[in-house]
Amino acid sequence: MVTAVTVTRRDRAIVVQETSDRAMLRAFLETDRLFSAYALCDLDDREFIRTRWGVALVGGEPIAVVLQYAGYSPQPVFVMGDNDGVEAILANVIRPRTAYVATRRENLPALATNYRVEPGGKMVRMWVDAAHFQPIKSEVQRLLPVDISELNRLYQLGFASWLPASAISDGLYYGVRVNGRLVSAAGTHVISPAARLAVVGNVMTHTDFRGRGYATAVTGAVTAELLKICDQIVLNVRADNPPALAAYRRLGYQAYVSFEERLVHRSELPWSGWTGALRRILSRKES
């Protein structure tokens, strides 16, 4: 574990360190529960062992958190909180060479201090609860681990990596079959009984069968089942995908916040003198 480091920003002494204090992390993340839904779910035992967390503290209270999820590069990273704190964590504690970062727009300048930030699409975080959910009647089937080969054949049309059978056994998937063929499916990225939150994802319909409401049907089936054990369900959708936005709204999902998903590359030492200028330039572009 990285030793605590103290940096000074804007006349504040900011202590940054790696942490495994789940109670502290949960309390901080709960201040923006819907935006931090993935991270909150990652506090559960099954996911926590795959994570590293950095925290920035002022006067012993957290002002920023950075989560790095284990896996092949580029690793998923989530940032939340004060820009000075985010910058200090990425400079001293969580330091992947390449990462795929989920962040609010206002935190992009903090990323640019330590990373080259590639352009990326804007995302919308949507959410629903039992009070807003609008179920629809549909002919869908719950998928079982034995269906993983069919599911991966469907996802191969648009996703780069194949899912293991445990994705179905540990999560929740529904599909639509036409003449015995799986043509549409939706599932979960993560479910947290502790936080009573879940993240819906992996929604895919074969191109030959789009426009028939199948994506809405399978997403609705997954959502209905999750709401039996969760208080809120969230999902992500690209801001430039009106059909998907409309499909989720029909189920009662509402937009919560726009955010960014960006591929970042750690700046090499020769660029270190330019980081301040990069931050100022990016701040102006994003404003």
pLDDT per position in the chain (287 positions), as tens?
667 999 998 889 999 999 999 999 999 999 999 999 999 999 999 999 999 999 999 999 999 999 999 987 899 999 999 999 999 999 999 999 999 999 999 999 999 999 999 998 899 999 999 999 999 988 999 999 999 999 999 988 655 567 889 999 999 999 999 999 999 999 999 999 999 999 999 999 999 999 999 999 999 999 999 999 999 999 999 999 999 999 999 999 999 999 999 999 998 654 444 444 545 455 555 44
**First vs last C-alpha separation in the chain:** 37
Residue 8 near residue 78 (C-beta atoms within 8 A): no
What pLDDT score was predicted for residue 72? Answer: 79
Domains of the chain: residue spans and CATH? 5-117 (3.40.630.30), 126-258 (3.40.630.30)
Which residues are registered as beta bridge partners of 54?
A: 18, 66
On whether the CB atoms of residues 196 and 173 are closer than 8 A, the answer is no
| pTM summary value | 0.88
Helix 214-226 / helix 242-250 crossing angle, nearest 10 deg: 50
Distance, CA of 45 to chain centre: 18
Q: List all residues 6 or more positions away from 165 whose beta carbon is below 8 Å from its beta carbon.
A: 145, 146, 148
**Distance from C-alpha of 173 to C-alpha of 26, rounded to nearest angstrom:** 27
d(CA 132, CA 80): 27
What pLDDT shows up at residue 285?
52
Residues 6+ apart with CB under 8 A from 201: 186, 187, 188, 189, 235, 236
pLDDT at 3: 79
Q: Looking at residue 200, what is its pLDDT?
A: 98
